[in-house]
C-alpha cells in the first residue's frame, strides 16, 4: 500500500468509533531528542541477505579469523579460568587491567608512541572509547571536524550526542592540510567552536588511504594552532601490506592528541577490547565516564588478551593477517581493473577497504536492491557522510571473502553497474544531490 | 457475501478428534528476498505465539537444508511466512506440495496470481471491484520505444499524481508517489532497481485501510479494518518504525463503509482463490468508493504489522488465532493446487 497524503475525506454516515489511534509505542513522546535518528531502515534491511552463502558480501567489516590458532587460544582460555578465574570473573579496575595496559605500550611502541601505563584507558572496543570521548567533550551543536568520507560508526556516535560534523576533503595522501586549515579558520570566523578533529590516519575506513608522513606533523600543528584536540582512531595501523607502521599522530603531540587503539582487527573482535591514550586530565574524565557507563571493561577478556600477548607470538599473527589481507586486496583491485574499468577506486596499502567512485550518474544507494538481487552486497557511500551525501561512491570490503569470492563479487557488481547505467541513461537521471535520509551501515555481524 | 468480523476462536480443539497430540508446524521465514529481514521478524512472532498456544513449532530458513529438514521432520503443516520472491510467488509452496506436505495458506497457483499486482488487479476488477487505472510496463519496453515518449504517454493517460511500484514485491520497497512529471524518471529508476516490471497507477487520495481476512473453516471473514494515517508516505520507514503512522483499529468508518471495505477484501480473497489468510490494501476515496490496491498472501506478522493489530482489535489472542488457523488447515481436505476460477 502506498500513501497519498490528503485531508481526511468525508465518508458517508457517522463514524462508528472515535477512539484514539495508536502509534504502537506508548513511549514515543518520552524519547530524548538524540534518539529520533535511531530507526530501522530500508537499506539496513537489505543487508539481511548478506550473511547468506549465496551472496558475496563486500559490505561488512568482519575480520577473517580462520587463521587464528584456536587450539592455543583454547589452552590460554582454560588457563585463565583455572589459574586466575577468581580475578577474571570478578569486577576489575575502571581504567583496565594494569598488566594489559603495560602490554598495550609495547603494541603502540611500533607506531612511535611512548606513554605510561597510567595514560591508557582500556575500553569495550575502541568504539566505546569513541563514545566516551564524545560524551566528555560534546554539547549539542558543537562541531566535530572529520574526513570526507568518515567512519560510519563514529558518525553514529557524533549524531547520538547531537554534534554537528563538518567534513574536510581527503585525497590519496589522506586528510588535506590546507583544507583543514581553511575549515578550522572559517569555523572560528563564524564563531563556532570546534571540539575535535576526528581522523583515521591509517588505511582509512572507508577510503583505504593513509595520511602521508609529510602531512602528519602538519595536521597536528594546524590543530594545535587552532586549539583543536585531535582524536586519532587507529584500528588498522599495524595492518600495512608493504611497509612498517608509520608514526602515530600522537607521537607528534602528547598533549593535543587522544589516540584510540583496538585488538579487534589485529587479534579478535569478539573479546571487545580497545583502548584510549589521552592527556592526563582527559584520561581522568574518560575513566570516570567509563565507570559510569560500564563500571569496568571485561576482566575475562582483558586477561585472555593479556595471556595471548605474553604466551603467543602475536607479531607473527599480525604478519599473517597482513599477508592474508594483501592477497585479498590484490584480488579486489585486480577484479576491479578487469570488470569495472569505467569506475575509479583507491588502492589501499593496508586495512580492509577500497573506496569506489561509480561511473557518472550512478547512485550506489539506489543501486543496492539490484545488487542484492544479483547476490552481491556493498555499503553505499551515503553511510560515510554526516549529511547523507556520497551517493556516487561505495565501500567495498576485502577482509572477509576469499580471493575467489571477491573476484566473483566484483564480476557480479560489474553486471549490476552495467544494468544500472543503461537504466540511468535511458531515463536521463543522474546522481541526485538530495541527501539520503537513512545514513546507515550494516550491523557489526554482517559479513 | 458475509462481511462479519471473525469470532474469537473458542477453546482449542484437538488436532484430530480424540487426539491430544500437539500439531507440529514448520514455519518458513527468511529466504533471499529484499524482505528477508521482515520475514525473519514475522517468523519469530508467529513461532512465539504458536508455542504459547501449545503448538510444536520449528522455524526454517529457505536454503539447502530446507528440503532434508522438512523430509525428516514430516511436519503436520508448513506455514510459509516468506515475504517477496520465492516465498510469495508460489514456488516454495510448490516444493512443499511436491514433498507431500500440507500448506497453511494459499496454494502455489493462486499465490502466483496474487503476487503479480497487475494480474491481481485485473482478476479482482473482473469480480466487480474498483481498482485505480494502471499500466504495467517492463524496463525493456522503455528502451525499445524511448523512455521520454512512454513517460509522456503515461502522464497523458493517467494524469498526476501517479504511484510507481514494482509489479511484484512488498513492504513498499521501490514505491514512489510522483506528483510532477519531472519526478517520474527517478521514480522509474528506483522501481526498476527492485524488479524488471513497473506498475504505474493513478494515485487515489483518501482514507487508507488494510483489511485482513481469515478463514477458520467456515469461509473467509474480515477482521476489523485498520485505518492508516501518516504524515508522509506509508513507506518502509513508516511501516517498521513506530511513530510516523497512527493506526485506528477499527478504522473510523461509517457502518456501511466498513461493510463495503470488508466486502471488497472478502470478494478479492475469493476471486483470487486465496486460502486461510490474506490482507487487502484499500483506499476509500472522497465519494466513499473503495479502491483495491493490492493483496498479500503472506501478510506481515511483525510487531508493527496490520494483521496482528486487526486480530487483537477483534479480541483474538494471537496464539489462539494462529492455532485455530493451523487446526482449520489440518481439518480441511488437502486441496493440492488452489484454483483461480477467474483466470
Q: Which residues of A touch B235 (CB under 8 A)?
A: 2-3, 42
Q: Which of A4, A55, A422 to mutate to test the interface with B (most CBs of B within 10 A)?
A: A4
Contacts of B165 in chain A (CB under 8 A): 2
* Percentage of the residues of chain A whose pLDDT score is greater than 90: 83
Sign of the torsion angle spanned by Cα atoms B304, B305, B306, B309: negative
**Res A368: pLDDT:** 94
Distance (Å, rounded) from C-alpha A134 to C-alpha B83? 40
Q: Hey, are the CB atoms on B174 and A2 less than 8 Å from each other? A: no
Instruction: Give backbone dihedrals phi and psi of A396, rounded to 5 degrees, phi first.
Output: -110, 130
Work out the minimum CA distance from B46 to partner chain A, whole angstroms: 18
pLDDT of the residue at B2: 38
Query: What band does B336 get if pLDDT is binned at 50, 70 and 90?
Result: low
pLDDT (tens digit per residue) in A105-135: 999 999 999 999 999 999 999 999 999 999 9
Indicate the domain borders of chain A.
Answer: 42-66+316-427, 79-311
B138 has a chain A CB within 8 A of its CB? no
**Residue range A262-275, pLDDT digits in tens:** 999 999 999 999 99
Half-sphere exposure of A382 (CA within 13 A, CB side): 23
Q: Which CATH number fits domain A79-311: 3.20.180.10, 3.40.50.12780, 3.40.640.10, 1.20.1260.10?
A: 3.40.640.10
Tell me the catalytic residues of B: 35, 171, 305
Write down the pLDDT at residue B179: 95
User: CB–CB of B203 and A4 under 8 A?
Assistant: yes
pTM of this structure: 0.90
User: Which top CATH class is A42-66+316-427?
Assistant: alpha beta
Residue of B nearest to A420 (CA): B193
pLDDT level of residue A437 (50, 70, 90 thresholds)? low
Residue A220 has what pLDDT?
98
Lowest mean pLDDT among A344-353, A421-430, B297-306: A421-430
Please report where in the chains the cell 592526563 appears, as a residue. A280
Q: Kindly list the structural domains of chain B, giving each domain's residue range(s) and its CATH number in brackets, ordered by start.
A: 1-129+204-335 (3.30.470.20), 134-202 (3.30.1490.20)
Predicted pLDDT of residue B343: 35
| Cross-chain CB nearest to A12 (options B161, B188, B288) | B288
Judge if the upstream peptide bond of residue A158 is cis by omega within 30 degrees of 0: no
DSSP state of B334: P
Lowest mean pLDDT across A18-22, A45-49, A356-360 = A18-22
Q: Which of A1, A41, A45 sits opposite B208 (nearest CB)?
A: A1
pLDDT tens-digit profile of B31-65? Answer: 988 889 999 999 999 999 999 999 999 999 999 99
- Do you know the residue count of chain B? 343
Question: Do B99 and B71 meet the contact criterion of CB atoms below 8 Å apart?
Answer: yes
B19: left (phi over 0), alpha (psi -120 to 50) or beta: beta
Q: Is the pLDDT of residue B213 over 60?
A: yes
- Minimal Cα–Cα distance from A159 to chain B, Å? 19
Give me the residue from A3, A40, A368 closest to B241, CB to CB: A40
Q: Tell if the CB–CB gap between B175 and A10 is shorter than 8 Å.
A: no
Average pLDDT over residues A47-60: 91
Please enumerate in sequence order all residues whose Cβ is within 8 A of that of B31, keeping only pairs 6 or more positions apart, or say none.
B39, B61, B62, B82, B83, B84, B85, B86, B87, B92
Position A375 pLDDT exceeds 60: yes
Which chain A residues touch B243 with a CB distance below 8 Å? Answer: 23-25, 28
- Nearest CB to A366: which of B33, B189, B227? B189
Cα torsion A336, A337, A338, A339 to 10°: value is: 40
Cα(A401)–Cα(A446) distance, rounded to whole angstroms? 12
* Residue to test with chain B: of A47, A48, A446, most B Cβ within 10 A: A48
pLDDT above 70 covers a percentage of chain A that reads 93
* B187 in reach of chain A (CB within 8 A): no
Radius of gyration of chain A (CA): 23
**Using CB atoms, which residue from A22, A426, A437 is nearest to B143?**
A426
**Identity of the residue in A3, A370, A373 whose CB atom sits nearest the CB atom of B234:** A3
> Sorting pLDDT into bands at 50, 70 and 90, what band is B337?
very low
Chain B residues whose beta carbon lies within 8 Å of the beta carbon of residue A366: 189-190, 193
Mean pLDDT of chain A: 92
Contacts of A439 in chain B (CB under 8 A): none
pLDDT of residue B86: 79
Split at pLDDT 50, 70, 90, the class of B341 is: very low
Task: Inspect the interface and report whether the beta carbons of A12 and B256 lie closer than 8 Å.
Answer: yes
Answer yes or no: do A9 and B285 touch at CB < 8 A.
yes
Asked if B161 has any chain A CB less than 8 Å from its own CB, the reply is yes
Cis check: omega of the bond before B196, within 30 degrees of 0: no
Residue bearing cell 531528542: A33
Residues of A in Cβ contact (< 8 Å) with B34:
45-46, 49, 369, 372-373
Chain A: residue whose CA lies nearest to B296: A1
B230 touches chain A (CB under 8 A): yes
Tell me how close the Cα of B332 comes to any Cα of chain A, in angstroms.
Answer: 31
Minimum distance, in Å, between the CA of residue B328 and any CA atom of chain A: 29
B246 and chain A in contact, CB less than 8 A: yes
Residue of B nearest to A45 (CA): B37
SS3 B89: coil
Phi, psi angles (nearest 5°) of residue A394: -145, 150
Q: What are phi and psi of A212, to 5 degrees?
A: -65, 160
pLDDT at A16 over 80: no
Could you tell me which residues are beta bridge partners of residue A344?
A357
Q: Which of residues 203-222 of B touch A (CB under 8 A)?
A: 203-208, 210
Tens digit of each residue's pLDDT (9 = 90 or more) over A73-112: 999 999 999 999 999 999 999 999 999 999 999 999 999 9
Whether B163 sits inside 8 A of A2 (CB atoms) is yes
pLDDT of residue A283: 97
Residue A381 has pLDDT above 60, yes or no: yes
What cell was used for A148?
570526507
Mean pLDDT across B2-22: 48
Q: Which residue, B234, B213, B232, B215, is CA-closest to B223?
A: B213
Which pLDDT score, from 0 to 100, does residue A172 have? 96
Task: Tell me whether residues A28 and B242 touch, CB distance under 8 A.
Answer: yes
- ipTM for the complex shown: 0.86
Q: Tell whether the model's pLDDT for residue B5 goes beyond 60.
A: no
* Interchain contact, B247 vs A21, CB within 8 Å: yes
List, as residue ranges, the binding site of B for Mg(2+).
Answer: 281, 294, 296
B278 alpha carbon, distance to own chain's centre? 5
- Minimum CA–CA partner of A30 in chain B: B243
Judge whether B282 and B6 are in contact, CB under 8 Å: no
Label residue A35 by pLDDT band (50, 70, 90). Answer: confident
Does residue B189 sit at the A interface (CB-CB below 8 Å)?
A: yes
* pLDDT range class, residue B6, cuts 50, 70, 90: very low
Task: Render pLDDT for B80-97 as a digit per residue (tens, 0 to 9).
Answer: 999 987 778 889 999 999
- Taking residues A170-193, what's their average pLDDT? 97
User: Chain A to chain B, count of Cβ pairs less than 8 Å apart?
Assistant: 189
Confidence at residue B310, expressed as pLDDT on a 0 to 100 scale: 97
The H or E element that residue B281 is part of is strand B277-284
Local confidence band at A20 (pLDDT 50, 70, 90 cut-offs): confident
Amino acid at each position: 500500500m502506498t500513501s497519498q497524503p490528503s485531508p481526511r475525506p468525508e465518508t458517508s454516515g457517522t463514524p462508528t468509533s472515535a477512539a484514539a489511534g495508536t502509534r504502537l509505542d506508548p513511549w514515543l513522546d518520552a524519547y530524548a531528542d538524540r534518539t529520533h535518528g535511531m530507526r530501522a531502515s530500508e537499506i539496513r534491511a537489505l543487508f539481511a541477505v548478506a550473511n547468506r552463502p549465496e551472496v558475496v558480501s563486500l559490505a561488512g567489516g568482519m575480520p577473517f579469523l580462520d587463521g587464528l590458532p584456536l587450539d592455543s587460544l583454547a589452552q590460554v582460555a582454560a588457563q585463565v579460568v583455572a589459574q586466575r578465574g577468581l580475578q577474571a570473573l570478578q569486577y576489575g579496575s575502571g581504567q583496565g587491567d594494569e598488566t594489559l595496559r603495560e602490554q598495550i605500550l609495547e603494541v603502540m611502541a611500533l607506531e612511535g608512541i611512548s606513554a605510561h601505563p597510567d595514560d591508557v584507558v582500556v575500553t569495550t572496543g575502541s568504539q566505546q572509547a569513541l563514545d566516551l570521548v564524545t560524551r566528555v567533550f560534546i554539547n549539542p551543536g558543537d562541531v566535530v571536524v572529520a574526513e570526507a568520507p568518515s567512519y560510519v560508526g563514529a558518525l553514529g556516535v557524533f549524531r547520538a550526542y547531537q554534534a554537528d560534523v563538518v567534513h574536510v576533503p581527503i585525497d590519496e595522501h589522506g586528510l588535506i592540510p590546507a583544507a583543514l586549515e581553511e575549515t578550522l579558520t572559517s569555523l572560528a570566523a563564524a564563531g563556532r567552536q570546534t571540539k575535535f578533529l576526528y581522523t583515521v590516519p591509517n588505511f582509512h575506513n572507508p577510503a583505504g588511504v593513509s595520511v602521508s608522513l609529510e602531512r602528519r606533523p602538519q595536521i597536528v600543528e594546524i590543530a594545535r594552532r587552532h586549539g583543536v584536540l585531535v582524536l586519532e582512531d587507529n584500528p588498522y595501523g599495524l595492518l600495512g601490506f608493504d611497509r612498517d607502521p608509520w608514526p602515530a599522530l600522537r607521537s607528534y603531540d602528547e598533549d593535543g592528541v587522544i589516540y584510540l587503539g583496538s585488538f579487534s582487527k589485529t587479534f579478535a573482535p569478539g573479546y571487545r577490547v580497545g583502548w584510549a591514550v589521552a592527556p592526563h586530565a582527559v584520561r581522568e574524565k574518560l575513566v570516570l565516564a567509563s565507570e559510569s557507563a560500564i563500571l569496568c571493561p571485561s576482566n575475562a577478556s582483558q586477561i585472555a588478551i593479556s595471556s595471548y600477548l605474553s604466551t603467543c607470538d602475536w607479531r607473527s599473527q599480525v604478519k599473517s593477517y597482513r599477508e592474508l589481507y594483501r592477497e585479498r586486496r590484490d584480488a579486489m583491485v585486480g577484479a576491479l581493473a578487469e570488470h569495472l574499468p569505467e569506475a575509479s577506486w583507491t588502492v589501499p596499502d593496508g586495512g580492509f577497504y577500497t573506496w569506489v567512485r561509480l561511473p557518472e550518474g550512478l547512485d550506489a544507494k539506489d543501486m543496492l536492491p539490484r545488487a542484492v538481487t544479483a547476490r552481491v552486497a556493498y555499503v553505499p557511500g551515503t553511510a560515510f557522510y554526516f549529511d547523507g551525501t556520497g551517493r556516487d561512491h561505495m565501500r567495498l570490503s576485502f577482509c572477509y571473502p576469499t580471493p575467489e569470492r571477491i573476484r566473483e563479487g566484483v564480476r557480479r557488481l560489474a553486471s549490476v553497474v552495467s544494468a544500472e547505467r543503461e537504466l540511468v541513461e535511458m531515463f536521463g537521471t543522474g546522481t541526485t544531490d538530495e541527501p539520503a535520509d537513512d545514513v546507515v551501515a550494516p550491523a557489526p555481524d554482517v559479513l | 457475501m458475509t462481511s462479519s468480523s471473525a469470532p474469537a476462536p473458542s477453546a482449542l480443539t484437538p488436532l484430530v478428534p480424540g487426539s491430544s497430540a500437539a500439531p507440529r508446524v514448520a514455519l518458513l521465514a527468511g529466504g533471499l528476498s529484499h524482505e528477508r529481514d521482515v520475514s525473519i521478524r514475522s517468523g519469530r512472532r508467529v513461532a512465539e505465539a504458536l508455542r504459547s498456544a501449545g503448538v510444536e513449532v520449528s522455524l526454517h530458513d529457505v536454503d539447502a537444508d530446507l528440503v532434508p529438514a522438512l523430509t525428516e521432520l514430516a511436519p503436520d503443516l508448513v506455514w510459509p511466512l516468506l515475504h517477496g520472491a520465492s516465498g510469495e510467488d508460489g514456488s516454495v509452496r510448490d516444493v512443499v506440495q511436491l514433498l507431500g506436505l500440507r500448506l497453511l495458506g494459499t496454494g502455489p497457483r493462486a499465490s502466483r496470481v496474487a503476487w503479480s499486482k497487475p494480474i491481481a488487479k485485473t482478476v479482482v476488477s473482473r469480480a466487480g471491484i474498483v481498482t485505480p487505472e494502471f499500466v504495467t510496463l517492463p524496463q525493456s519496453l522503455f528502451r525499445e520505444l524511448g523512455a521520454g515518449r512512454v513517460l509522456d504517454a503515461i502522464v497523458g493517460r493517467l494524469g498526476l499524481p501517479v504511484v510507481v511500484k514494482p509489479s511484484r514485491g512488498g513492504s513498499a520497497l521501490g514505491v514512489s508517489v510522483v506528483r510532477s512529471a519531472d519526478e517520474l524518471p527517478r521514480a522509474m529508476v528506483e522501481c526498476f532497481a527492485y524488479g524488471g516490471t513497473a506498475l504505474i497507477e493513478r494515485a487515489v487520495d483518501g482514507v487508507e485501510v488494510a483489511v485482513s481476512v481469515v478463514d477458520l473453516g467456515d469461509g473467509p471473514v474480515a477482521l476489523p479494518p485498520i485505518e492508516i494515517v501518516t504524515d508522509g508516505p506509508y513507506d518502509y520507514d513508516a511501516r517498521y518504525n513506530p511513530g510516523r503512522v497512527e493506526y485506528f483499529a477499527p478504522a473510523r468508518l461509517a457502518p456501511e463503509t466498513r461493510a463495503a471495505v470488508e466486502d471488497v477484501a472478502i470478494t478479492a480473497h475469493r476471486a483470487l482463490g486465496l486460502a486461510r489468510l490474506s490482507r487487502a490494501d484499500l483506499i476509500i476515496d472522497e465519494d466513499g468508493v473503495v479502491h483495491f490496491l493490492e493483496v498479500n498472501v503472506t501478510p506481515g506478522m511483525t510487531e508493527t504489522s496490520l494483521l496482528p493489530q486487526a486480530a487483537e482489535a477483534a479480541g483474538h489472542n494471537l496464539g489462539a488465532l494462529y492455532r485455530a488457523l493451523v487446526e482449520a488447515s489440518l481439518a480441511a481436505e488437502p486441496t493440492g493446487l488452489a484454483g483461480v476460477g477467474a483466470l
